[in-house]
Structure 1
Amino acid sequence: MKKLLPFLLLITLLSSAPQRLSATDSPPNIIFLLADDLGYGDLGCYGQELIETPHLDRLAAEGIRFTQAYAGGPVCTSSRSVLMSGLHNGHTPARDNVPHYPTYFDDEDVTVAEVLKQAGYHTGGIGKWSLGDPNTPGRATNQGFDDWFGYLNQDHAHYYWTEYLDDNEGRRELPNNAVTREHYSHDLLAQHALKFIRQSAKTDAPFFYYSAFTLPHFSSKDEDPDGWAVPSTDPFTDREWPEKAKKYAAMVHRLDESVGEIVALVDELGLRENTLIIFSSDNGGHSTVWKKFHTCGPLRGFKRDLTEGGIRVPFIARWPGTIPAGSVSDEVIGFEDMLPTFAELAGTIVPKDLSIDGISVTSALKNEPMAKQRDFLYRDYGHCRRYYDQCVRLGDWKGIRLGKDGGKIQLYDLSKDIGETSDLAATHPEVVSEIANIMDTAVTPNARYPIGEIYRGDAIWRVENYHPSRSKLPPLTQPGEGAWESAEFLFNPEEAPTPSCHSSTLVELPDGQLAAAWFGGTSEPDIDNSIWFTRRVEEKWLPPVAVVDGTEGEDSDHRTGNPVLFQTTEGPLLLFYKVVPHEPNRASSWWGMMTRSDDGGKTWAEPWKLGENEKLGSSPHLIGPVKNKAIQLADGAILCPSSTEHDGWRVHFEITRDLGKTWEVIGPINDASNFNAIQPSLLFHSDQRWQVLCRSKESVVAQAWSEDGGKTWGPFTATSLPNPNSGTDAITLADGRHLIIYNHTLKRAPFPANRQMLNIAISEDGKKWTPVMTLEKEERSEFSYPYVIQTRDGKVHFTWTWKRKTIRHAVIDPGKL
């Protein structure tokens, strides 16, 4: 479910609310028109001499033209992400065009459309979205847009004669359009924009419209070999230019015509003085544009560059009666400023807990001095590429650090050197040092963009059809096939002791028998959940018995969760579990309990609470192993991989040297602000080199590495495996390979999605993972929270939740994987 903004987002005009730019009491309509790959020098009002753009020139004459406006980044996806989120490249969810993830925005991300929607705006958009495919959290209609028509997927947007366009939650089919070329997509988008504005004008609510045109971006080479697609080269057909130049000019002309139609409609409907219209481009012009057009004007570089040509863009705003006509501003503004600016214009307040990088530029729109000056402007490029580049605008200074230069910073004074021709780094070391410090601290790590892990053509966790579950995975395997020897239920689902069950654990006892536990009750949140236990004797599972129910040592009933069995070398069988208080009924407030059995689980001691440790933050309860296996070290200490959810999702380790009487804590080893990870599994590559694999909110199996036997840990990064925010388990096999059991899916996607498929992958080094088995795959079903052990005979045993009705147990021969 999409996370809504807090009610702190007030929409009443209190004295504490910001002042609107206009003198009128009604909030303005806001239309943001975005071109795709239009250079700084492509418009007549910015110096273009060969391509006529009369409508955009008139828009500038009736409003204000900015000379130092910056797109969100040097490429499409990251720039649009900055525009929507109010966060610069180092913080925004989407930071590059690659890898081609199915979603870049998640439910918890907040967009400018959501801010305005909660302020009472009707919201809509067309064109190139790029931030989330259909059926993913990032789709436009899940990110604040009441209406969306166009291309949700980045790559799809490069087909002008497409056979379908995304239409809200569905599609508008255009059969055989790639052959007949009957429908030019830009024209359909422009028509839809006009329709939305007409309909919105009939209501009392203000509207926000985001027209993310695809012109003049080059088309797919499959569609047009020379890279440009347009129905006609008019009015440039007779020019003595290369054919490619005519096509590009015609695309810019068509864009200009569409802007003119929108502006004319606004005026016709009587909305002129209460509608702010902004026009800009998502990044600099492309390097393949005919050189005589000087697409980036006097600026150096093009799209994908952090020199001014890649990120400085046209920016025009018109609001008659509020913005002085014919104004020109040299103020530095950026796409991240749109969210706070539009919030101010709407008379609303950006919640304090919504951290953004942008500042309101309402004063600049009036061609007045900025009410607040920014500290710096940050851009970067190259996440998951060979070279990672950064730039910082600090007053008139501009610093650029290119990965290919080994970290050396170039320094330019843009007030005197707009073309960035004179590097002044050697004569201003103090400025270089200040800029370097900003670069070093401006980036929050993002699992989807592990800097240094180069993208080489295939998506990190999506190989085919924008969905990892449709990549070439092994077919569904049945017991008796290949490595899979057998499978069984721990109890007949028709004779289950409880209506629901979940989160199993498995252990081999000293006599070679197996024991298992899980929690079960009416449903997961209900107070009647107890920990159930069974043993496998003479190849049969005994009837389950409830061993603890959460009331032990408490004055009131509580539910239990996530048991973990552990067989010690000393003899006792330990059972760790969690107790969740009835209020609040959340895992973020639970505490750890344990009990022991000296007879293989036939009888159990009185349970005891594990205690507290201040390292665990606002809810300091010790947890024990949170879901997956504990490890007994050579010195007898029991190491429990654990995690908490109350201060963000964070991983830590708990160690006991006296069978649970006293505890020490290592960690937390991650900061939830840069990676949310829980439920770790430990892998061992040598005595000192350890690895943890975790469930994450970032839609990937997360990993961290230790080079000193778990004492300290490096940062969390993404593995190559997807994760639908569901539990996993992993083990280092006796032969040195590593095995993980997990759901190779996304949370929201076409089937198989979420927990509808369960898989096994193998790795030699913990870095390159190869899916080797598909254990379960069924629509509208759940196969989740797996557990894995290797028994003394070398076989690998798994248990997992089977449709919440029972626990399934499977055995494989790892030698056949």
Structure 2
Amino acid sequence: MLPNRLLALMLLALLLLPVESFAADRPNFVFFLVDDLGYMDIGANNPETFYETPNVDRLAETGMRFTNGYAANPVCSPTRYSIMTGSHPSRVDATNFFSGRREGRFRPAPLNDRMPLDEVTIAEALREAGYRTAFLGKWHLGPTEEFWPENQGFEFNVGGHHRGSPPGGYFAPFRNPRLEDGPNGQHLTQRLTDEALAILEEVQDDPFLLYLSYYTVHTPLQAPKDLVEKYQRKAEKVSDLNEFGDEEQVFPTDRPRRVRQVQRHPTYAAMVETMDTSVGRVLAKLEELGLSENTVVCFTSDNGGLSTSEGSPTSNLPLRGGKGWLYEGGIREPFLIRWPGVTPPGSVSDVPVVSTDFYPTILDIAGLPLRPDQHLDGVSLVPLLRQEGEIADRALYWHYPHYSNQGGIPGGAIRDGDYKLIERFEDGRVHLYNLAEDIGERHDLAEQMPERVDAMRRQLHAWYRDVDAKFLQPKDGREPWRPE
């Protein structure tokens, strides 16, 4: 046994080592965030999908696929905030995309259009621990430069600024203040991937976070001509019978909204393929550099697939609704994590998880202390990834007090076990669904199960109070419903 004095000196020496010494053996992280990608858009979740996603499917086959993975919000900026901070966006009133102030029968809730600078982002936490940090693609978390990635913990910022869609479209000139133009016609998704590969070359000797936030598959619907033509030929073989159906519309109109029911949009399919090819290129680069076995890869989206507006390019069936809706089609996401050497390949978890869980999970994997004062709404998924335990039972919550561009209804929702309750903010109506038996949310059980409705509603209202949720505002002398 070592003498006490010698042992104390050894411990002191360890404490005095620079952060980089501890970081050397820590895992790397690659985080793919694909804008507007629906749960049913990847083959791993939907073997019958019209789209071709072999690289994403292989990622699922080599890691864990979460069948009940959710975004914290049915639109982009709030979910992006939740990933960056591990907190629910309603806590800071970041409840809509950051330029979304559309009115309906009532005025929307107050909107904070920036991620506060005093938030400790996942990039800041990892950078403090000696990680190199790189952001590429869509940011949409603040209106001016002071709120952009380089001021939120990222050493590299390629393309991240205030806009939610690519200002120049998907082909150069990009008109992006954080991305130099390439030759005319250069494709944006390919360019961001090229930049990511170059950054991997530069940071390969240090632990790193590469956060690749593709603008794809957000509108405008644009893709390389040869790929569009490929899917035009493929679409000819898919029946267009019942290609569109009717979905409800916001109160009080009875006019239905068109919703896509068949996946066969050639340009959207081509956009999905460009994303998938790019994911494959990044994964191949990790292999080439000998980094794969020490790199954790996460893959998700920021909201459901776009099915009810702006060209309605994809179908989320059997999930109801899409982007901008509190139905499953608007919030259930592709949700994949690969942790080599720890999570058995091809693992599947049916445990409900949400985008706020990524931050504490990444810290836990890295061996860094969790921040319970900050991560009030997320938990580490390491017990699931290790398949050595479960996470505590919990309810999941959503709060969207806005009129979406996609026709979605302002409301809140809670999922507790198999049951999901949706509450409408215009008039206070509620709906109850058993997702285990009715994933399409077509059979409303509210009248049959009043006691469950009452219990879940009380639970949801307590959560509103906890996060200081805001609600619809009066308009033209009309008062919206308010929770008690």
Note whether the superposition's TM-score is higher than 0.5: yes
Q: 1:160 to 1:352 in 2, by over 3 A?
A: same
**Counterpart AA for 1:342:** I
Are 2:305 and 1:305 equivalent residues in the alignment? Answer: no
Are 2:38 and 1:64 equivalent residues in the alignment? Answer: no
Are 2:350 and 1:343 equivalent residues in the alignment? Answer: no
Please name the residue that 2:223 is paired with: 230
Structure 2 Cα separation of the partners of residues 194 and 165 of structure 1? 22
Are 2:377 and 1:377 equivalent residues in the alignment? Answer: no
Q: 1:446 to 1:437 in 2, by over 3 A?
A: closer
Matches within 5 A, 1:6-21: none
Structure 2 Cα separation of the partners of residues 124 and 413 of structure 1? 41
The 3-state SS of whatever aligns with 1:157 is coil
The 3-state SS of whatever aligns with 1:187 is helix
Matches within 5 A, 1:355-504: 355-370=375-390, 372-383=391-402, 388-404=410-426, 406-443=427-464, 451-453=471-473
The answer to whether the Cα contact below 8 Å between 1:89 and 1:379 also exists between their aligned partners in 2 is no
Matches within 5 A, 1:285-304: 285-288=305-308, 295-304=315-324
1:387 to partner: Cα distance: 5.4
The 3-state SS of whatever aligns with 2:379 is coil
Matches within 5 A, 1:183-202: 183-201=186-204
Matches within 5 A, 1:595-634: none
The answer to whether the Cα contact below 8 Å between 1:375 and 1:394 also exists between their aligned partners in 2 is yes
The answer to whether the Cα contact below 8 Å between 1:384 and 1:453 also exists between their aligned partners in 2 is no
Q: Which has the higher contact order (CA 8 A, sep 6+)?
A: 2
Are 2:120 and 1:110 equivalent residues in the alignment? Answer: yes
Structure 2 Cα separation of the partners of residues 25 and 206 of structure 1? 6
Q: 1:292 to 1:387 in 2, by over 3 A?
A: closer
Are 2:44 and 1:45 equivalent residues in the alignment? Answer: yes
Please name the residue that 1:88 is paired with: 88
Matches within 5 A, 1:388-787: 388-404=410-426, 406-443=427-464, 451-453=471-473
**Counterpart AA for 2:268:** Y
CA-to-aligned-CA distance 1:149-188 (integer Å, 9 cap, x gap) = 113123453632364565xxx644439x8xxx52222222
Structure 2 Cα separation of the partners of residues 253 and 44 of structure 1? 12
1:423 to partner: Cα distance: 1.5
1:289 to partner: Cα distance: 8.5
**Counterpart AA for 1:120:** G
Choose from 256, 274, 281 the match for 1:261.
281
Q: 1:39 to 1:383 in 2, by over 3 A?
A: same
1:259 to partner: Cα distance: 0.5
The 3-state SS of whatever aligns with 1:296 is coil
1:231 to partner: Cα distance: 2.3
Please name the residue that 2:162 is paired with: 153
Q: 1:306 to 1:69 in 2, by over 3 A?
A: same
Please name the residue that 1:325 is paired with: 345
Structure 1 residues without counterparts, runs of 5 or longer = 1-11, 15-23, 220-227, 456-817
The answer to whether the Cα contact below 8 Å between 1:383 and 1:450 also exists between their aligned partners in 2 is no
1:147 to partner: Cα distance: 1.0
Are 2:207 and 1:212 equivalent residues in the alignment? Answer: no
Structure 2 Cα separation of the partners of residues 270 and 173 of structure 1? 30
Structure 2 Cα separation of the partners of residues 320 and 392 of structure 1? 33
The answer to whether the Cα contact below 8 Å between 2:93 and 2:112 also exists between their aligned partners in 1 is no
The 3-state SS of whatever aligns with 1:264 is helix
**Counterpart AA for 1:336:** T
The answer to whether the Cα contact below 8 Å between 2:92 and 2:112 also exists between their aligned partners in 1 is no
Choose from 171, 174, 181 the match for 1:174.
181
1:354 to partner: Cα distance: 2.7
1:383 to partner: Cα distance: 3.7
The 3-state SS of whatever aligns with 1:451 is coil
The 3-state SS of whatever aligns with 1:261 is helix
Structure 2 Cα separation of the partners of residues 51 and 244 of structure 1? 8
Structure 1 Cα separation of the partners of residues 14 and 292 of structure 2? 23
- Once the two structures are overlaid, the 10-residue window that deviates more, 151-160 or 266-275, is 151-160
Q: 1:446 to 1:435 in 2, by over 3 A?
A: closer
Q: 1:141 to 1:356 in 2, by over 3 A?
A: farther
Are 2:139 and 1:129 equivalent residues in the alignment? Answer: yes
- Once the two structures are overlaid, the 10-residue window that deviates more, 337-346 or 385-394, is 385-394
Please name the residue that 2:248 is paired with: none
1:46 to partner: Cα distance: 1.3
With normalisation by structure 1, the TM-score equals: 0.47
**Counterpart AA for 1:373:** A
The answer to whether the Cα contact below 8 Å between 2:306 and 2:314 also exists between their aligned partners in 1 is no
1:282 to partner: Cα distance: 1.0
**Counterpart AA for 2:27:** P
The 3-state SS of whatever aligns with 1:267 is helix
1:445 to partner: Cα distance: 9.6
**Counterpart AA for 1:397:** Y
Structure 2 residues without counterparts, runs of 5 or longer = 1-12, 16-22, 101-110, 241-262, 476-484
Structure 2 Cα separation of the partners of residues 165 and 438 of structure 1? 47
Q: 1:374 to 1:263 in 2, by over 3 A?
A: same
Q: 1:93 to 1:190 in 2, by over 3 A?
A: farther
Root-mean-square deviation (CA), in Å? 3.2
1:350 to partner: Cα distance: 2.8
The 3-state SS of whatever aligns with 2:451 is helix
Q: 1:197 to 1:295 in 2, by over 3 A?
A: farther
The 3-state SS of whatever aligns with 2:134 is strand
**Counterpart AA for 2:56:** L
1:254 to partner: Cα distance: 0.6
1:338 to partner: Cα distance: 0.9
Q: 1:454 to 1:152 in 2, by over 3 A?
A: farther
**Counterpart AA for 2:135:** G
1:439 to partner: Cα distance: 2.5
Please name the residue that 1:141 is paired with: 150
Structure 2 Cα separation of the partners of residues 263 and 452 of structure 1? 44
Structure 1 Cα separation of the partners of residues 215 and 200 of structure 2? 19
Structure 2 Cα separation of the partners of residues 83 and 66 of structure 1? 16
Q: Which has the higher strand share?
A: 1
1:108 to partner: Cα distance: 1.3
Structure 1 Cα separation of the partners of residues 144 and 369 of structure 2? 31
1:28 to partner: Cα distance: 1.1
Number of corresponding residues? 415
Q: 1:171 to 1:210 in 2, by over 3 A?
A: closer
Q: 1:217 to 1:156 in 2, by over 3 A?
A: closer
CA-to-aligned-CA distance 1:264-308 (integer Å, 9 cap, x gap) = 111111111111111111111111599999632421111111111
Q: Which has the higher helix share?
A: 2
CA-to-aligned-CA distance 1:369-427 (integer Å, 9 cap, x gap) = 42x324211112134779531011111111111224x1122111112221112222223
CA-to-aligned-CA distance 1:417-458 (integer Å, 9 cap, x gap) = 2111222222322322232123223236999x9632489xxx
Structure 2 Cα separation of the partners of residues 419 and 212 of structure 1? 29
The answer to whether the Cα contact below 8 Å between 1:379 and 1:390 also exists between their aligned partners in 2 is yes
Structure 2 Cα separation of the partners of residues 290 and 62 of structure 1? 35
The answer to whether the Cα contact below 8 Å between 2:71 and 2:331 also exists between their aligned partners in 1 is yes
